[in-house]
Structure 1
Amino acid sequence: MKSTIYDVAEKAGVSISTVSKVLNNQPVGKKSKQKVLKIMQELNYKPSVVASALTGKRTSTIGFLLPDIANPIVAEMARRVEDRAHEYGFNVVVCSTDLKLEKEERYVSLLRQKRVDGFILAGGFRNREIALELVKDNIPVILLSESQPYSSLTTVTVDNFIGGYELASHLISLGHKKIAVIAEDNSSSQERIRGYKQALKDNDLDIPEELIVTSNSSPEHAQLLTTSLLDSFSPPTAIMSCNDVLAIGTLLGAREKSLKVPEELSITGFDNTLLSKSCDPPLTTVEVPVQNMCSQAVDLLIEEIKGKTIEKQKILMLPKLIIRKSTSFCPVQSRNIASIQSE
């Protein structure tokens, strides 16, 4: 049976208020303090986080809502947030919402009942009403990896526009003119598409809207979309996937159509997860500064929890293009180069 503060007080022969003072590091006699600590250890007593919150004290707990823990980049975010929070002596409760409004609402409600000190909402938190309600109730909130910030919330994210622009520019530099995009239905993908479109525009290339398709988060769906794109009347010579998981599906689709990557089809990902390094061929992708983003988000949240007034801002971190073996010259370009070399 779980020990209570009353059990500790009774066995130590002190009042409940004395035990409470020890728990909250308030002045109390040295002998009494030592006795209480000894009894707490003997009884394996752990103070109730909720009970502490009900008395107006901090629980040293952060609620972290993220879209899909199965995605490697999201799993890495969870680890980085947890590591940084632990440096401050804070615990993290991680909830995977699958981008469903009802799950977002349910988890926020549950964590509020548990009296968490603040929230980090990651990767396309969709329930705007709930997020703004937290702000209205003066609960510290930080958005992480969200490309469409709320003016009333601080956001820490990567510049997805620049990432999409650099990937498309890289493919254009290799002679590709028909570049398809496989994206998810979220703000990060939309910003990456916006960067892609700007790169095409800057290079006087038409924007092929029919080659921009939306996938769910599974590689299987991305594979299906890839084969459909490759079966089209005028198939792309390169496919830009808006994350590494979708890029794996694109690789599978190319393999299904017996196309060599990158000789016959160039493929890119986004995020620079372990997947991008371990697949065959390794993916050209964009590195997201996950550690810096997560550290900054936790730092800002805990400052706010501790009462520091923080000016709401959007912190944009720069991505980095990582070129590997999944991209090469456009097949037509390659034939032209070979022809010139043979003359």
Structure 2
Amino acid sequence: MSNDASGMMGSGRIDAHSDAEEGRTEHTDQVIDQVERVEESIAKDGGPTRGTLRDVADSLGISSAVALRALRGEKEIRPLLRTRVQEAAERLGFPMEELAAEADHNGVIAVLVNTMRNTWISDLVRAIRIELAATGRSVVVVPTRRRVPEYPVAADTDAIESLVRLGVDGFLMVSDLQDLENALGATGDRPVVGIGCSRDRAGRFDTVRIDDEVGQGLLVDHLVSLGHSDIAHVGGVGSVVARERADAFRHAMERHGLSASARVEPGDFTEQVGQTAGSMLLRGSQVPTAVTCANDVTAIGVLAAARSAGYDVPSQLAVAGYGNTSLAASGTAELTSIDPNSDRLGAIAAQFVVERISGHDVPVRDVAVAPTLVVRQSSSAGPRAEDRFKRKRISVD
């Protein structure tokens, strides 16, 4: 359906209720309920309470494009819908002062990434594009990882400096970039906002990150509720974020009194290492009944290891990922995963960088966005009694 059609449908729905007093009241109550639900969702983040363009649209059941045109006061949007959208935006704390007509800016925001292989990046970039449309800005995605003989991994500082010379407004940094200090130095005086980076970066520049303590806690709570106690984690290697997620897993296990069985098998964010780590877990002397992973790609590797070792998922081994990417949702994986709320991560980061570009002199901000658990087939069963008995015997022997 086109945006124009969506706008007509959304405005028609509101105008239809205006034909009768009872209908108008009923619709108004519905809108208030939706806005309240969005407000509650925003409040979970524990940072500055602010709505995004998508929050405003979702609260009224319209598209982001229609919400943007309504906020700009464009004439093809009916007056009643414009009023509803503006009221929702004010109530949700959307930064109206950043709104601009599309022709008001020719600026570009550069999104710096380590690699283009990460499927999570596409979700983030989509959210960033939607939010930046409100300010007339566009997005360019730039891989910054460069391999050179002298260093194992180096930042492509030439590319970043070229972006500065071309006049980009600012930078969004996805995750902790390799060779971070050189990468930051190449950005010059342009504002930088981090997305999905580690807690260690908080305080240096604005950061919008995933609350991994909540995320790993949700996974462990889910698995324990199914009867799992021998739970392992694959991760902790390759970045500070990986180590933080491993620590969060340990904390969640400790909360359930399971510290003694909180095993962390070293692994990074790749499928190959995930498969190797999974094989180590399944061929060891103490085999877990469930495994959480640093990301979805690693979890795909663990699933491959389970198939090779003859373990049925989920009846003999439950597996969970992190990121809720397209890999997790695929019919072959059906992977339980943590949804990091990429729409909100990208949108809030986009707002922050625009505010910095506009000269807002505020203290450095750090927002931890609350993730949610998406349960799929890979963790739909608890451990079988005979499996627990066999594994305990192996451990004792």
| Range class of TM-score, shorter chain | 0.7 to 0.9
Pairing 1:191–2:238 present: no
Please say which structure displays the higher CA radius of gyration: 1
SS of aligned partner of 1:315: strand
Task: State the partner residue of 2:395.
Answer: none
Q: Which runs of 5+ in 2 are unaligned?
A: 1-104, 148-152, 390-397
SS of aligned partner of 2:327: helix
Task: State the partner residue of 2:48.
Answer: none
Kindly report which structure 2 residues correspond to 1:286-301, keeping only aligned pairs within 5 A, or say none. Answer: 286-301=338-353
Task: State the partner residue of 2:384.
Answer: 331
Pairing 1:251–2:303 present: yes
SS of aligned partner of 2:122: helix
CA distance in 2, matches of 1:319, 1:78: 18
CA distance in 2, matches of 1:320, 1:334: 30
1:315 offset after TM fit, Å? 0.7
CA distance in 2, matches of 1:104, 1:178: 43
CA distance in 2, matches of 1:150, 1:133: 17
Q: For 1:130-186, what per-residue CA distance to the aligned partner results, in whole angstroms no more than 9, with x for missing partners?
A: 465468x53211111112224230101110121012212222222222222112522
1:317 offset after TM fit, Å? 0.9
1:104 offset after TM fit, Å? 4.4
1:187 offset after TM fit, Å? 2.7
Pairing 1:91–2:138 present: yes
Match of 2:220 among 168, 181, 197: 168
Q: Which runs of 5+ in 1 are unaligned?
A: 1-57, 337-343
> Which stretch has the larger CA shift, 148-157 or 122-131?
122-131
SS of aligned partner of 1:163: helix
> Which stretch has the larger CA shift, 268-277 or 200-209?
200-209
State the percentage of identical aligned residues.
26
Match of 1:311 among 346, 356, 363: 363
Contact 1:268/1:283 (8 A) holds in 2:
yes
SS of aligned partner of 1:247: helix
Contact 2:109/2:172 (8 A) holds in 1:
yes
Pairing 1:69–2:119 present: no
Which AA in structure 2 matches 1:331? R
TM-score of the two chains, using structure 1 as the length reference: 0.74
Contact 2:230/2:262 (8 A) holds in 1:
no
Pairing 1:125–2:177 present: yes
CA distance in 2, matches of 1:111, 1:164: 37
CA RMSD of aligned residues (A): 2.5
CA distance in 2, matches of 1:196, 1:333: 26
Contact 2:144/2:157 (8 A) holds in 1:
no
Contact 2:202/2:366 (8 A) holds in 1:
no
Kindly report which structure 2 residues correspond to 1:142-153, keeping only aligned pairs within 5 A, or say none. Answer: 142-147=193-198, 148-153=200-205
Which AA in structure 2 matches 1:141? V
CA distance in 2, matches of 1:252, 1:230: 12
Pairing 1:262–2:314 present: yes
Which AA in structure 2 matches 1:299? Q
CA distance in 1, matches of 2:320, 2:307: 15
Pairing 1:200–2:217 present: no
Pairing 1:241–2:293 present: yes
SS of aligned partner of 2:266: strand
Contact 1:241/1:268 (8 A) holds in 2:
yes
CA distance in 2, matches of 1:97, 1:279: 33
Pairing 1:138–2:189 present: yes
Q: For 1:264-317, what per-residue CA distance to the aligned partner results, in whole angstroms no more than 9, with x for missing partners?
A: 000001111122121435111111111111111111111211222232110111
1:85 offset after TM fit, Å? 2.3
Question: CA distance change for structure 1 residues 107 and 308 in 2, over 3 Å: closer, same or farther?
Answer: same
SS of aligned partner of 1:102: strand
Which segments of structure 1 move beyond 4 Å, counting only runs of 4 or more? 98-101, 207-210, 333-336
Pairing 1:229–2:275 present: no
1:207 offset after TM fit, Å? 4.4
Question: CA distance change for structure 1 residues 110 and 138 in 2, over 3 Å: closer, same or farther?
Answer: closer
Which AA in structure 1 matches 2:383? C
TM-score of the two chains, using structure 2 as the length reference: 0.64
Question: CA distance change for structure 1 residues 162 and 214 in 2, over 3 Å: closer, same or farther?
Answer: same
Contact 1:99/1:124 (8 A) holds in 2:
no
Question: CA distance change for structure 1 residues 318 and 210 in 2, over 3 Å: closer, same or farther?
Answer: closer
Q: For 1:73-115, what per-residue CA distance to the aligned partner results, in whole angstroms no more than 9, with x for missing partners?
A: 1222123223332332212221123487523433322222222
Contact 1:99/1:126 (8 A) holds in 2:
no
1:116 offset after TM fit, Å? 1.2
SS of aligned partner of 2:221: helix
Contact 1:197/1:207 (8 A) holds in 2:
no
